[in-house]
Amino acid sequence: KAGVTQTPRYLIKTRGQQVTLSCSPISGHRSVSWYQQTPGQGLQFLFEYFSETQRNKGNFPGRFSGRQFSNSRSEMNVSTLELGDSALYLCASSTTQTGLPHNEQFFGPGTRLTVL
């Protein structure tokens, strides 16, 4: 099976702009999670989707949003970018079912976002 893919791999934006990142999960995986990784804060949970429904959301401002499509592909959007949004954004898919503990997560290579 093909692994989790994320596009684009690298992105440079300026403050105030918005950005959309894309994630294609492993075939058959219906759960997709997003994480932000920075040197200062480490890995932080953004949100998780299962069958097009947001299952949970981390402690991030409303500028961060996401969605999941019927084919389980997911996108996340960050509006009004700030310098502090520069980070590696990681997507992970799994076979985790709603309401059950998280199984092994399969991570994509990430999108490195730089905000100037």
Partner 1 sequence: SQQGEEDPQALSIQEGENATMNCSYKTSINNLQWYRQNSGRGLVHLILIRSNEREKHSGRLRVTLDTSKKSSSLLITASRAADTASYFCATDSGGGADGLTFGKGTHLIIQP
Residues making contact with partner 1 (CB under 8 A): 4, 33, 35, 37, 42-48, 55-56, 58-59, 88, 90, 92, 96, 98-110, 112
Q: Which is nearer to partner 1, 72 or 110 (CB)?
A: 110
Provide, rounded to whole angstroms, the least separation between the CB of residue 69 and partner 1: 20
Q: Minimum CB separation from partner 1 for residue 85, in Å?
A: 17
4 versus 21: smaller Cβ distance to partner 1: 4
Q: Between 78 and 92, whose beta carbon lies closer to partner 1?
A: 92
How many other C-beta atoms can be found within 10 angstroms of the C-beta atom of residue 5?
15
Name which of 48 and 85 has its Cβ closer to partner 1. 48
**Tokens standing for residue 93:** 């898919």
Sign of the torsion formed by the C-alpha atoms of 92, 94, 55 and 53: positive
Residue 3 pairs in a beta bridge with none
Convert 49-75 to b/e letters by CB count within 10 Å (16 or more is b): bbeeeebeeeebeeebbbebeeebbbb
**At its nearest, how many Å lie between partner 1 and the CB of residue 16?**
26
Q: State the nearest-atom distance from the C-beta of 107 to partner 1, in Å.
A: 4
Q: Which of 37, 11, 30 is nearest to 74 (CA)?
A: 30
